[in-house]
């Protein structure tokens, strides 16, 4: 029986793995807003039902707790598979190195198999980490990267590089309609406060009047894209006539030290920055070249840093029960 057997086929059915995660839950909201139905799959290793509790009772939404490194069985028709399941922060993939490799390899194989069996289109959430510690700047999609395959970060970098290779193999051999999005640093509501990424780490520390932990001297750069911009780019890519990887991110670049100073200012914290040793293979620069996204998708980010970071700080104040102090 079809998961949505009581509904008409007029709506498209989308599967979102990692559907209870930061990006997966926002993607789910965008797909539902577009009039689609969504089957979200998540084993809740790093996802959280709090991210999807607002969808309870939605007739167009189903949640399945399942590990996609195991065989996926879904009755009925599926039109699109979005594979977003994976630990995505350094803290997570260093704590769960083997599950990270498995979801990039076995999980990608299983979700591609599901798409093939259903005659569905497929989109893989890849990452700017496929570029490693890049030797060119900014990073274009035709750059092959500078990755240490046996370093501690290699479990994530190589899992995503393998996932891209598997996706292209299914496209070339099985003629599957596939898309690859390379996601650059993204921030916004529903990030986990403790996931180790710099945005929630700095905001959480500042709101608690704790020192901001900067790794290295803070001169390494990142480019921060607000989540609604990223999701819009991914949504457009899902129906675009392209199969090559597409960078989605904000090319506005700042150093980690500059970012820390901005967080202190915008939270009104009295925090100082403390500097610790830079982790192995931490990239020195990160900035997307979005020429392809502009040309193919007609997309570029529209949410400015001030607006996006204000919304994110507000979310974490609510999460920490601090709204009365806002």
Catalytic residues: 156
What is the spatial distance between Cα 297 and Cα 203, in angstroms, rounded to a whole number?
A: 32
Q: What value does the CA radius of gyration of the chain take, rounded to a whole number of Å?
A: 19
What is the spatial distance between Cα 272 and Cα 213, in angstroms, rounded to a whole number?
A: 9
What is the spatial distance between Cα 114 and Cα 39, in angstroms, rounded to a whole number?
A: 13
**Partners of 37 in the β-ladder:** 13
Determine contact, residues 262/199, Cβ cutoff 8 Å. Answer: no
What is the spatial distance between Cα 165 and Cα 245, in angstroms, rounded to a whole number?
A: 11
What is the spatial distance between Cα 290 and Cα 316, in angstroms, rounded to a whole number?
A: 29
Measured CA distances, 24 to 1, 16, 163, 190, 308 (Å): 25, 7, 17, 10, 19
What residue spans of 175-290 are helical by DSSP H? 198-207, 227-238, 256-267
CA nearest to 266, candidates 224, 223, 308, 219? 308
């Amino acid at each position: 029986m079809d998961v949505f057997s009581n509904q008409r086929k007029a709506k498209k059915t989308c599967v979102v793995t990692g559907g209870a995660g930061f990006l997966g839950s926002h993607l789910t909201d965008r797909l539902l807003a577009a009039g689609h139905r969504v089957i979200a799959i998540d084993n809740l290793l790093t996802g959280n039902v709090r991210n999807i509790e607002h969808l309870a009772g939605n007739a167009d939404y189903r949640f399945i707790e399942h590990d996609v490194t195991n065989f996926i069985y879904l009755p009925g028709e599926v039109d699109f598979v979005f594979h977003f399941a994976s630990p995505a922060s350094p803290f997570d993939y260093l704590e769960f190195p083997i599950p990270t490799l498995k979801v990039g390899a076995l999980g990608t194989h299983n979700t591609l198999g599901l798409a093939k069996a259903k005659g569905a289109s497929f989109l893989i959430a890849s990452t700017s980490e496929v570029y490693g510690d890049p030797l060119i700047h900014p990073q274009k999609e035709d750059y092959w990267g500078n990755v240490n395959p046996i370093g501690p970060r290699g479990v994530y970098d190589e899992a995503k590089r393998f996932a891209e290779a598997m996706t292209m193999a299914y496209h070339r051999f099985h003629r599957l309609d596939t898309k690859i999005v390379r996601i650059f640093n993204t921030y916004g509501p529903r990030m986990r406060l403790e996931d180790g990424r710099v945005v929630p780490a700095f905001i959480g520390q500042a709101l608690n009047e704790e020192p901001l932990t900067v790794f290295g001297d803070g001169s390494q750069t990142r480019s921060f894209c607000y989540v609604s911009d990223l999701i819009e780019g991914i949504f457009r890519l899902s129906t675009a006539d392209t199969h090559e990887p597409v960078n989605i991110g904000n090319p506005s670049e700042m150093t980690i030290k500059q970012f820390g100073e901005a967080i202190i200012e915008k939270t009104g914290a009295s925090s100082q920055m403390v500097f610790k040793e830079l982790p192995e293979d931490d990239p020195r620069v990160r900035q997307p070249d979005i020429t392809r996204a502009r040309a193919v998708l007609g997309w570029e980010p529209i949410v400015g840093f001030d607006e996006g970071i204000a919304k994110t700080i507000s979310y974490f104040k609510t999460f920490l029960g601090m709204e009365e102090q806002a």
